[in-house]
Amino acid sequence: MIFGREVLRTSRDWAILLDRLLKCMTACTRAWLSGLLMGALAIGNGIAGTGSANETLDATLQPIAELSVPSPVGLSPGGQFAPFTGTLTVSYKARTTPPNTGGGTITVEVSSDFTPSGGPSAAAGALTFTCGSAGLGTPCSGTKTASTTTQVTVVTLPASGCTGGGGSCSSSNPASVTVNFSLTDSPAYSPGSYLAQVILRISAT
């Protein structure tokens, strides 16, 4: 058989020819794949773009309030049969809603009357208090009698009120108010140590 100008006479000639063909096909395939890859890279580098998206962040702030008090508060004697007195400082934070719906209060209630028996009794009107100035809101006026059954208002919080920041808010955060307690000392009481519990509550709308 004649291939080009060469005459293939033996199986060895066929083997040499086949090897040449395989080498040629391998080289051609590599060149073709290389060209294809370079073309793809050129197309990719030729494409550029930017994008953007807008998102809305939604947060709903509710009216809220909190308070804190030191513990315990000792009542000091005022002299022979003079009332025992003590001052409680109430610290608080608050945010209230606009007029017609907003506002709040700080209240005090005797949750556990004086024990043991034989001494003063809040239920009998022995415990009273007055209010100092308030950092936010209107403090109580005059002398109030602490109750074992009813919450008595210490501070009335305004609508659109808040603590901290100045302006329509208080200048301090937290704000504070003082509650000045007075406990009757009657000669009818038995000598001894007496304890009572009071609970302070704050609300905001």
Average pLDDT over residues 145-159: 97
159 pLDDT more than 80: yes
For residue 99, what pLDDT is reported?
A: 86
Average pLDDT over residues 11-24: 62
Average pLDDT over residues 130-137: 96
Q: How far is CA 196 from CA 17, 35, 121, 159, in A?
A: 113, 93, 9, 34
Cα separation of 105 and 95, whole Å? 12
3: confidence class by pLDDT, cuts 50, 70, 90: very low
Report pLDDT digits (tens) over 166-201: 777 888 899 999 999 999 999 999 999 999 999 999
- Contacts of 35-38 with CB under 8 Å at 24 or more apart are none
| Residue from 69, 67, 70 nearest 93 by CA | 67
For residue 171, what pLDDT is reported?
A: 87
Q: Where are the beta strands (DSSP E) in 74-143?
A: 84-95, 104-115, 127-134, 138-139
**144-145 β-sheet, strand order:** 64-68, 84-95, 175-183, 127-134, 144-145
127 pLDDT more than 90: yes
For residue 19, what pLDDT is reported?
A: 65
Contact 17, 25 (CB under 8 A): no
State the DSSP H helix or E strand holding residue 110, giving kind and residue range, or none if neither. Answer: strand 104-115
Global pTM exceeds 0.75:
no
